[in-house]
Amino acid sequence: MSINISTLLESRTACEKADAVDPLRNQREDFYLPQGLIYLDGNSLGPMPKKAFEHLEKAISNEWAEDLISSWNNAGWWKLPQTLGELIAPVVGAASGQIIVSDSTSLNLYKTVYAALALSEGRNVLVSESDSFPTNLYILEGITSAQQNIQRRLVGIDGDSLEELLDDNVAVVTFSHVNYRTGELLPIEELVKKTHEAGALFILDTCHSAGVLPVELDKWGVDFAVGCTYKYLNGGPGSPAYLYVAKRHQQVALNPLSGWWGHASPFAFEKDFQAAEGILRFQTGTQPILSLRGLQAGIEIAQTVDLQMVRKKSQRLTQLFIELVERRCGNYEVALQSPTDPEKRGSQVSFHCLNGFSIIQALIARKIIADFRAPGIMRFGFAPLYVSYTDVWDAAEALTDVLKTEEWREERFQQKHEVT
């Protein structure tokens, strides 16, 4: 059955009928979600896969409590970063041997930028977006501060497009696949081509795309990539990130954080560093095994679904929400910040409103979870594996009611929290 947006806009019953024939409808059962909750914040933290309980229970009760240190060998602890990297690889369009699960996105960006700079002899400019997630900008700022000869150029400040900033001095371009504020989806293959034509290397941040829309790192010709696992890969709060290095760079690319896990013979305990072969050299220190075990369940789910099907549903969910909100909330100074073209939008929708923080708090009190980003951005993430068309209808109804009744003005919704 074809699901038509104009039909869904007619009534909640139409959304219920669409849910009944949705080929992804049973995926929600893979996740633990409290009864009556509408969760639209998977773009910040994905819910817990039910199988994560099993993986963590086994890791704690058997591997740690009973088998203790022998689990480094017998339970495969030592190889978990590589094992999980192999599981993530097909989810992001990478061939075997190019991904390691290790450290945080910030640390992995630092590693890849340094590695790319070292491969770009005679070039000293980093290019990124001014609207990139702040930690990415902070990492680049730290690099330019530590190396006085390295310069940073930002699209949106130093020029209006990548083309304006590319020249013979540019060593590295690092962009996010999906903008964390607006949900804008960038044409990565096109940007990589332009970057390579200028003689530079390209690093892609996949934090807001991996697991919810098709990613093709090999096909697009990306040189390096980083990504977190706690959003649409549902790996748990603070779960380790992943790092991609294209095979063509692996034997010469250097990890600036040369820890013992990246050594060719870590248990030889040699005094000098010799890098391991391939992607393994981009490991650094001892990894958090329990977090890796918790992550495994989320990756296993991502491996089993058709991401093209996920993408199509994502586009319908976001389009339905946009049209419902714009029809009902246009008189309340709520302005769309996301692209109107579904092909140029990731799996989130952002609206701007001066009272956005309080509005989101009022929705959360109604068990509709979304989030806020200053100044005034209300973000709604639509993860097709556990969000239904009926959820979208109900969320739009609740948002309309919060605005109409001005419930958001209540004092309890004005209190700022450390995490928004």
- pLDDT higher than threshold 60 for residue 133: yes
Q: Whats the size of the chain, residue-wise?
A: 420
Active-site choice (31, 133, 202, 232):
133
- pLDDT higher than threshold 90 for residue 47: yes
Give CA–CA dist 14/275, Å, rounded: 58
pLDDT in tens, 316-328: 999 999 999 999 9
- pLDDT band, very low/low/confident/very high, at 404 (cuts 50, 70, 90): very high
Known catalytic membership, residue 133: yes
pLDDT value, residue 331? 85
Known catalytic membership, residue 351: no
- pLDDT-above-90 percentage for the chain: 95
Active-site choice (22, 41, 103, 205):
205
What is the average pLDDT across 343-355? 96
Sketch the domain layout of the chain as residue ranges: 5-32+306-413, 53-304
Contact present, 179 and 349 (Cβ < 8 Å): no
**Which H, E and C letters describe 181-204, residue by residue?**
CCCEECCHHHHHHHHHHCCCEEEE
Which CATH architecture describes the domain 53-304?
3-Layer(aba) Sandwich (3.40)
The DSSP call for residue 61 is: I
The pair of structure tokens assigned to 45 is 């933290």
Known catalytic membership, residue 382: no
Phi, psi of 413 (to 5 degrees): -95, 5
Active-site choice (153, 321, 379, 391):
379
Which residues, including other chains, have CB under 8 Å from residue 18's CB and lie 6 or more apart?
A: 3, 7, 8, 389
Active-site choice (175, 224, 230, 242):
230
pLDDT value, residue 342? 96
Active-site choice (28, 153, 231, 313):
231
**Which H, E and C letters describe 93-141, residue by residue?**
CCCCCCEEECCCHHHHHHHHHHHHHHCCCCCCEEEEECCCCHHHHHHHH
pLDDT in tens, 84-115: 999 999 999 999 999 999 999 999 999 999 99
pLDDT in tens, 159-177: 999 999 999 999 999 999 9
Give CA–CA dist 27/44, Å, rounded: 20
Give CA–CA dist 211/182, Å, rounded: 18
**Sheet strands side by side (includes 335-336):** 335-336, 348-352, 377-381, 371-373
**Beta-carbon count within 10 A of 98 CB:** 25
Contact present, 65 and 57 (Cβ < 8 Å): no
pLDDT value, residue 417? 84
- pLDDT higher than threshold 60 for residue 116: yes
What is the average pLDDT across 238-257? 96
Known catalytic membership, residue 391: no
Contact present, 363 and 380 (Cβ < 8 Å): no
| CATH homologous superfamily, domain 5-32+306-413 | Aspartate Aminotransferase, domain 1 (3.90.1150.10)
pLDDT value, residue 419? 84
- pLDDT higher than threshold 80 for residue 1: no
- pLDDT higher than threshold 80 for residue 420: no
What is the average pLDDT across 226-252? 97
The pair of structure tokens assigned to 363 is 């929705």
Averaged pLDDT score across all residues of the chain: 96
What is the average pLDDT across 376-387? 97
What is the average pLDDT across 300-328? 96
- pLDDT higher than threshold 90 for residue 348: yes
Known catalytic membership, residue 344: no
- pLDDT higher than threshold 80 for residue 253: yes
The DSSP call for residue 150 is: -
The DSSP call for residue 263 is: B
